[in-house]
Structure 1
Amino acid sequence: MPSQGTIGDRVRGLRLSRRMSQAQLAGPDLSDSYVSLIESGKRTPTPVVARLLAERLGCTTEFLLHGIEPRQRIDTELGLRHAELELLHGDPGVAADRFGEIIKVAGEENAMLAAHARFGRARALELQGRLGPAVEAFEWLRREAVAHPERLADLPLAVALSRCYQNAGDMLRARDLAVHALAEVESLPLAYGELAVELAACLVEAPTADEASMAYVRHVLAVNGVRRAVNRSAEIHALWQASVAAADGDDSALAVRLADDAIATGRPARMASQLALVATHWARQTALAGGPLDEAGRLATCAGEVFSAFPERAREHVTSLIVLARIQLESGDAAGAASLAGTALGMLDGRGGAVAATAHLVLARIAADHGRGDVAGALDAARRALGDLPYELSSPDREAARVWRVLGDLYGEVGADEQRTAAYRRALEAAGVREAMVGVTVDRALVR
């Protein structure tokens, strides 16, 4: 049975395969000229006419309108659910492939299904770190959203693109998209749900977040709360496997229901983890800006409690402990800050990176301000944690740039001018800048 092209193509193909003339298909109810207009794409049949034509052509109305039989449609819906589960709880690479297969099956005659699959594939590319292809896919979908608003909403695409551009280092484009999305959610108004939390995450991580942005972030945190969530990974995977088994047994309807249950079961944990990330960033920003430390400390503590329930979130848990250590240091509790920084380093178990370096910098600050420990030793440990590998221009690392800059500041405070200059240079490299010349002193303001 032909399924390609438009409704008109399917009507004509089926008519010819049954050796019917346009007049025979029209019968006593329609005119042959009207059938001709439908076949040429100049008219779209109403639901009543579509049912009538489907009866005479010996096919289902679903097939005539969408080019896909009911069983095919539910199988495609099931494919979407399983690809989504792979994206959320499995392998993003496998998810991208599965979404790609659905795009081919759905085709242009099933534009809504294809649009959902294209959005899922773009998200999978982003999770793989393939930011270039992800941005290209999201930008294409935004153009489609303008042309076909009934298929796609612009807001989720703007939020996703803002996140991608931010991770790619294009802060201007990221900020413009976030501001556009913020104006849209404020007009609704929208502060609950995954989309609002995703936007809050984009806004709070922006290096130039303004008062309106931070006010929205604070509002989202206040109305949603940062609550502990139960780790239900085993339950999610059990439902997922049951859905696969139902599909293998040709019970597609049950398979879809079980897949929906699996996706819904994971939603509270996804929301809690995302809110905890937002809370961690907000607490850090607030502490740096001299904001209310009590509130910042409470949010960092709540975030750590959320992350502690998920072993795969160990890095975020360590980050929340370091943020809390910095807040305690700002509050004058040097002993508490040192304990938290030590705990964080113990959890990292010798692994390097910007997170470990930040913990060493907290210990360096404690040593410098309170005489507790070896300042030079802590600074050198931070430098070793950051490593000596060169940064690629195509992938700036904002977090590493920030840590190198703080390290340079502290080296300057203890009079280690050579190490300070080297640290500032590494900050520029991590930010994607290669303009500093050998022998030229780099002002720390340049790398803020």
Structure 2
Amino acid sequence: MPSQGTIGDRVRGLRLSRRMSQAQLAGPDLSDSYVSLIESGKRTPTPVVARLLAERLGCTTEFLLHGIEPRQRIDTELGLRHAELELLHGDPGVAADRFGEIVKVAGEENAMLAAHARFGRARALELQGRLGPAVEAFEWLRREAVAHPERLADLPLAVALSRCYQRAGDTLRAQDLAAHALAEVAKLPLAHGELAVELAACLAEAPVTGETGMAYVRHVLAVNGVRTAVNRSAEIHALWQASVAAADGEDSALAVRLADDAIATGRSARMASQLALVATHWARQSVLEGGSLDEAARFATRAGEVFSAFPERAGEHVASLVVLARVRLASGDVAGAASLAETALGTPAGRAGATAATAHLVLARIALDHGRGDATGALDAARRTMGSAPYELSSPDREAARVWRDLGDLYGEVGADDERTAAYRRALEAAGVREAMVGVTVDRALAR
């Protein structure tokens, strides 16, 4: 049975395969000229007419309108659910492939399903760190949302693009998109739900909208709090496997229901983790900008409790410990800060990268200000932790740039001028400034 092309193509193909004339298909209820207009794409049949034509052509209304049989449609819906589960709880690379397959199966006749699959694929590309292809995919979808608002909502795309552009180092584009998203949520107004928390996380990770953006972040934290999280991964995967088994047994309806249950089961944990991420960023920003340290300590503590429930969130847990260490140090709790920094460094997730280097910097600051420990040794450990691999200019790393800058500041305080200059150079390199540094003497002002 033909399934490609428009509704008109399918009507004409089925009519010809049944050796019917336009007048025979029209019967006593329609005119043959009206059938001709439908076949040429100049008219779209109403639901009543579509049912009538489907009956005379010996096909389902679903096939006539969408080019897909009910069983095919539910199988495609099931494929979307399983790809979403792969995205949320499995391998984003596999998810990208599955979403791509659904796009091909759905085709233009099933524009809504195809749009959802394209959005899922773009999210999977982002999770893989493939920012270039992800941005391209999101931008294409955003143009589609303008042309077909009934298929796609613009707001989730603007949030996703702002986040991607931030991470790619295009701050101006990220700022424009974030401002647009803020204006949209202000109209609703929206502070609850996954989309609001996703926007808050985007703004808190790298504040690009100034006080307006951070005010929204604070509002989202105020109305949602940092929720208690329960790790239900075993239950999610059991439901997922049951859905796969139902699909293998050709019970697609049950398989869809079980997949929906698996997705819903993970929603509370996803919300809690996102809010914990927002809280961590907020606490870090409070230390930098002289905000309420009591509030920062509360947020960082709650975030750490959430992340500790999920083994796959070990990196975020360590980050929350280091942020809390910085809060404790700013509050004058030197012993508490040292203990937290050492705890972070003692975990497998706290032995490399910017988070581990920051923990060493906390210990260096304690040694400098309070004479507790070896400041130079802590600084050298931070430098080793950051490594010596060159940074890709196409992917600036703001967090690494911040760590190298702070490392340069502290090397300056201990009088290690060569190490200070080298650290500032690395800060510029991490920020994506490399060729421009040839022949330049880097000083503290430039590094900032």
TM-score (norm 1): 0.98
* Deviation readout 1:336-380 (Å, 9 max, x if unpaired): 100000000001377321111000000000111111111111111
The equivalences for 1:275-290 within 5 A come to: 275-290=275-290
- What SS does the aligned partner of 2:114 have? helix
* Structure 1 residue 417: Cα displacement: 1.2
- 385-394 vs 150-159, which deviates more? 385-394
Counterpart of 1:417, as a letter, is: D
Partner of 1:87: 87
Counterpart of 2:145, as a letter, is: A
Partner of 1:226: 226
Q: 1:437, 1:197 → 2: CA distance?
A: 39
The equivalences for 1:160-309 within 5 A come to: 160-309=160-309
Is 1:381 aligned with 2:385? no
* Structure 1 residue 17: Cα displacement: 0.3
Q: 1:47 to 1:438 in 2, by over 3 A?
A: closer
Q: 2:383, 2:441 → 1: CA distance?
A: 19
Partner of 2:121: 121
Is 1:157 aligned with 2:157? yes
Q: 2:50, 2:445 → 1: CA distance?
A: 68
CA RMSD in angstroms comes to 1.1
Q: 1:222 to 1:437 in 2, by over 3 A?
A: closer
Q: 1:355, 1:170 → 2: CA distance?
A: 23
Q: 1:106, 1:227 → 2: CA distance?
A: 38
- What SS does the aligned partner of 2:266 have? helix
* Structure 1 residue 391: Cα displacement: 1.1
Q: 1:207, 1:213 → 2: CA distance?
A: 7
> Percent sequence identity over matched residues?
89
Partner of 1:327: 327
* Structure 1 residue 435: Cα displacement: 4.4
Cα pair 2:318 2:350 within 8 Å, conserved: no
Q: 1:107, 1:295 → 2: CA distance?
A: 51
Cα pair 1:175 1:206 within 8 Å, conserved: no
* Deviation readout 1:281-325 (Å, 9 max, x if unpaired): 010001110011000110000000000000111111011000000
* Structure 1 residue 445: Cα displacement: 3.2
- What SS does the aligned partner of 1:41 have? coil
- What SS does the aligned partner of 2:346 have? helix
Cα pair 1:407 1:420 within 8 Å, conserved: yes
For structure 2, the residue ranges without an aligned partner over 5 or more in a row are none
Q: 1:447 to 1:196 in 2, by over 3 A?
A: farther
The equivalences for 1:290-439 within 5 A come to: 290-348=290-348, 351-435=351-435, 437=437
* Structure 1 residue 434: Cα displacement: 1.2
Q: 1:257, 1:349 → 2: CA distance?
A: 37
* Structure 1 residue 79: Cα displacement: 0.4
- What SS does the aligned partner of 2:121 have? helix
Cα pair 2:318 2:349 within 8 Å, conserved: no
Q: 2:128, 2:165 → 1: CA distance?
A: 15
Total equivalences in the alignment = 448
* Deviation readout 1:106-130 (Å, 9 max, x if unpaired): 0000000000000001111111111
Q: 2:58, 2:291 → 1: CA distance?
A: 71
For structure 1, the residue ranges without an aligned partner over 5 or more in a row are none
Q: 2:355, 2:336 → 1: CA distance?
A: 19
Cα pair 1:425 1:436 within 8 Å, conserved: no
